[in-house]
Chains A and B, each alone.
Chain A
Amino acid sequence: MDLLSLFPEWVLVHGPAAIVVLPLMVGALIALSPSEKLSWATTWFVTGLSGLMSLGLLLQVISHGPIAYAMGGWKPPLGIAYSVDGLNAPILLLISVIAFVCTVYALPSVIAEVEPEKRSPFYAAFLLSFAGLMGMVVTADAFNVCVFLEVSSISTYALVAMGSSRDRRALPSSFNYLIMGSIGATFFVIGIGFLYMQTGTLNMMDMARVLQDIGPGDRVVQLAFAFIVIGLGLKLAMFPLHTWLPTAYAYAPSFFTAFLAATATKAALYLLLRFTFTVFDPSWHFISNALMVIIAGLGILGMLAASLQAIFQSDIRRVLAFSSVAQVGYILLGIGMATTLGLTAGYLHILNHAIMKGALFLAVGAFWYRFGITKVSDMRGLGTTMPWTMAGFTVAGLSLIGVPGTVGFVSKLALAQAAAENGWWWAIGVIVLSSVLAIVYVGRMIEQAYFQPVPKINDKYIKRNEAPLTMLIPLWTLALASVAFGIDSHWPTSLAQGAAQVLGDGPILLVRETMPAIPAIPSTGGH
């Protein structure tokens, strides 16, 4: 591939570590930065560089297959391995590109929303959160996942709380998220602990190999799976475990909400895929049952219940947050089918939903930036007062509904096809019903903006007051991406198929090729 030759050899070899180390170290450095402009520029540069490296890694994976990296030169089953394959390379690119695009937007938004002396620490925490998400996705070591999960979570709590200079409710919502997130992380660690107890290894591939020997009958392995699913379920806002999400999204600084909504749940969804399909074996009865009943079942419940809740919210950000829970439901439905088509559709929706929900939250931040608008009823006349911002919002909103020609349609169609192939005709009904609910909650906002008169102040109509270009460009980048990938969905679909193939290959394949055979360490209890 021609584009690939542009990347230096070093990036393709050391990239898996560099995309995590770079933001982590620079994040520490800019905590000391005296100037917020400097912090912003550095953040922008670092996320951009990570994006480029992720692109290089993705191209390398597509043309040459998986990349493995041994941290510290310790060979994988013993040392910490980082690996990039068809499953996580697109997520890495997604996270870093969304971070890069959102950082442009952060310049005006952070000045408006965060106290001056907290701005440099804000960017530092953002880079830590970003590094944590990248680390969660790139690492192939189960305990390393927990570490990065905490790195990203703790900085996320701080960032959500920084919304308090705009709205004090950010503090209780951040605390709520802290409690729920810590419970989630604890469940996840307990699950990993049980797996370690049974397999004696923390390397995911090695774990998968040993688990194959242990087999599905082992109670501890079953328990570990339950803990991991619940822990990740909390992190990815699986329907009844989603309660932290609406308030956290609503009161965080708007730039960070956009980033969080587009990436944080996606990284957890990736981990769910990684563990369920490549560490455990989806053909085991308790896992196939869990996929069908719990993952798909809760996904469907979330699609309906959260969409219904979204309709009755008065705060725009809460509408979109509940819609996020519903959209996670679509993804879970795709995963729950556990067929190649279903996984492709679910994975595709991970990418597509990030693009459109990012755009929507960026637009909402711009509404607040210009007019202080947070309520749906205050959106009156926004089609006239902020035409470009509102148009971007509308494009992304239509995508959320699933109008043909947008990414939302592509992934919903793929999901419906997968359901049909699986014989789940009722699921198609649910997808349509949930889309109808989406028409209601998105339509409600669009109706306010375009069909209600512009509000008057002192008998004068409010003048047009467009968002600054630094906000419009990121917003429209994502909005146009949602149309472009909606019209020509070849590239994201091929990425999703690549990921589904990795998942379909199951746990064994990678192990045989890259791992030297080391016998399982018998579990001895003790420490």
Chain B
Amino acid sequence: MKRARKRARANKMGRSENQHIILRVVAKLLIPLIAVYGLYVHFHGDYGPGGGFQAGVIFASSIILYALIFGLDEAKRVVPPSWIRVIMTLGGLVFGGTGVATWLLGGEYLNYTMFAPDSTHAAGQHWGIFAVEIGVLLTVTSVILAIFYAFGSRGGSRRPNNAPNLSDEDKS
């Protein structure tokens, strides 16, 4: 009984404010580091292991960690689901658009050499892969988040975005 009353009070004050202080502080320290590490993996992909796919997962996991600690609604306020759909598409279009750009430059689809045909050290390939990887990063990040949101909010896309979440308040 006592615990239930305590929880109710905590709910009134905003559950995440009072509980899990250690988790919150540590997460606040870690989240930017994870995000930066994601970007490091992304840009390092040019020279070593890494690239948009792995970086996208790492970057998305920083936001997922935020959602785990501060709640899904908070996370949705930071990265709204409507953005995710746009970013998802944008990533695909950046990738595909790189190919269209090479078409316009007169090469085959995704023939990156067209970006710098005179380069002796394949600079075109470098720029092409760079552009394509940004598309991959955007799409992978947003798809991972979309999957997490879809599972997390149970109702999936059926429910409007501003509908109340299934939390303690709803149950009482």
Inter-subunit contact A31/B89 (CB<8 Å): yes
From A22-30, A209-217, A230-238, give the one contacting chain B: A22-30
CA distance A72 to B98 in the complex (A): 11
From B16-24, B40-48, B101-109, give the one contacting chain A: B101-109
| A17, A29, A69, A73: the one within 8 Å of B93 (CB) | A29
Shortest CB-to-CB span from A527 to chain B, Å, is 14
Which residue of chain A has its CB nearest to the CB of B124?
Answer: A73
Inter-subunit contact A14/B109 (CB<8 Å): yes
Shortest CB-to-CB span from B89 to chain A, Å, is 5
Inter-subunit contact A73/B85 (CB<8 Å): no
Indicate whether A72 sits within 8 Å of B86 (C-beta atoms), given known contacts A21-B99, A29-B93.
no
Indicate whether A71 sits within 8 Å of B96 (C-beta atoms), given known contacts A14-B103, A28-B89, A29-B89.
no
Q: Is B71 an interface residue (CB 8 A)?
A: no
7 shortest interchain CB distances as A-B pairs: A73-B111, A28-B92, A72-B110, A25-B96, A17-B109, A73-B108, A28-B89
CA distance A14 to B104 in the complex (A): 12
| A73: chain B residues within 8 A (beta carbon) | 107-108, 110-111, 113
Q: Is B112 an interface residue (CB 8 A)?
A: yes
Which residue of chain B has its CB nearest to the CB of A27?
Answer: B92
Which residue of chain B has its CB nearest to the CB of A69?
Answer: B108
Most buried by B among A69, A70, A72: A72
| A32: chain B residues within 8 A (beta carbon) | 85-86, 89
Interface size class of A (residues with CB under 8 A): 10 to 19
Q: Given A21-B96, A72-B108, output 13 extra A-B contacts at Cβ < 8 Å.
A: A14-B103, A14-B108, A17-B108, A17-B109, A21-B99, A21-B109, A25-B93, A28-B89, A28-B93, A28-B96, A29-B93, A32-B86, A70-B108
Task: List B residues 69-93 near A (Cβ within 8 Å).
Answer: 85-86, 88-89, 92-93
| A21: chain B residues within 8 A (beta carbon) | 96, 99-100, 109
Interface of A is mostly: helix
Q: Show 27 residue pairs from A and B whose CB-CB distance is below 8 angstroms, ordered by the A residue.
A: A14-B103, A14-B108, A14-B109, A17-B99, A17-B109, A18-B109, A21-B96, A21-B99, A21-B109, A24-B96, A25-B92, A25-B97, A25-B100, A28-B96, A29-B89, A29-B93, A31-B85, A31-B89, A32-B85, A32-B86, A32-B89, A71-B108, A72-B112, A73-B107, A73-B108, A73-B111, A73-B113
Shortest CB-to-CB span from A448 to chain B, Å, is 38
Residues of B within 8 A of A (CB): 85-86, 88-89, 92-93, 96-97, 99-100, 103, 107-113
| A72: chain B residues within 8 A (beta carbon) | 108-112
| B86, B97, B110: the one within 8 Å of A71 (CB) | B110
| B88: chain A residues within 8 A (beta carbon) | 31
Shortest CB-to-CB span from B124 to chain A, Å, is 10
| A71: chain B residues within 8 A (beta carbon) | 108-110
Shortest CB-to-CB span from B47 to chain A, Å, is 21
| A70: chain B residues within 8 A (beta carbon) | 108
Which residue of chain B has its CB nearest to the CB of A28?
Answer: B92
| A25: chain B residues within 8 A (beta carbon) | 92-93, 96-97, 100
| B92: chain A residues within 8 A (beta carbon) | 25, 28
Contact bitstring A42-77, B, C-beta under 8 A = 1, else 0: 000000000000000000000000000111110000
| B113: chain A residues within 8 A (beta carbon) | 73
Which residue of chain B has its CB nearest to the CB of A30?
Answer: B89
Shortest CB-to-CB span from A125 to chain B, Å, is 13
Which residue of chain A has its CB nearest to the CB of B97?
Answer: A25
| B110: chain A residues within 8 A (beta carbon) | 71-73
CA distance A261 to B96 in the complex (A): 29
Shortest CB-to-CB span from A119 to chain B, Å, is 13
CA distance A69 to B93 in the complex (A): 22
CA distance A31 to B92 in the complex (A): 11
CA distance A21 to B92 in the complex (A): 11
Shortest CB-to-CB span from A71 to chain B, Å, is 6
| B107: chain A residues within 8 A (beta carbon) | 73
CA distance A72 to B99 in the complex (A): 8
